[in-house]
């Protein structure tokens, strides 16, 4: 009997738990786990583009060049 493919979100949750455990994150580390969960949740939302005003975009490019 063939098994149905595993749900990608369940597989991701299992991997997440394994990696966080390897990093030493404990269940009490709520801020860390919340940040990580929010990052994963953002991947399931529709693509949202950050529309930066051109003035800020130019400033960011200049700062990036200056940092080199």
DSSP assigned state of 24:
T
Q: If we measure between CA atoms, which residue out of 31, 5, 33 comes closest to residue 17?
A: 33
For the chain, the domain total comes to: 1
What pLDDT digit, counting tens, does each position of 17-34 carry? 888 888 887 878 888 778
Residue 54, domain member (yes or no): yes
Q: Is residue 22 part of a domain?
A: yes
Band of residue 47 on the pLDDT scale cut at 50, 70, 90: low
In a domain, 28, yes or no: yes
Q: What percent of the chain has pLDDT over 90?
A: 0
Q: Which residues contact 16 (CB under 8 A, 6 or more apart)?
A: 36, 40
Tell me whether residue 3 is in a domain.
no
Q: Is residue 2 in a domain?
A: no
Range of the domain at 40: 8-67
């Amino acid at each position: 009997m063939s098994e149905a493919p595993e749900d990608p979100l369940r597989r991701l949750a299992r991997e997440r738990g394994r990696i966080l455990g390897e990093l030493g994150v404990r269940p009490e580390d709520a801020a860390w786990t919340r940040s990580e969960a929010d990052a994963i949740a953002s991947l399931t939302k529709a693509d949202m583009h950050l529309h930066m005003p051109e003035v800020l975009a130019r400033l960011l490019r200049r700062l990036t060049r200056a940092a080199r």
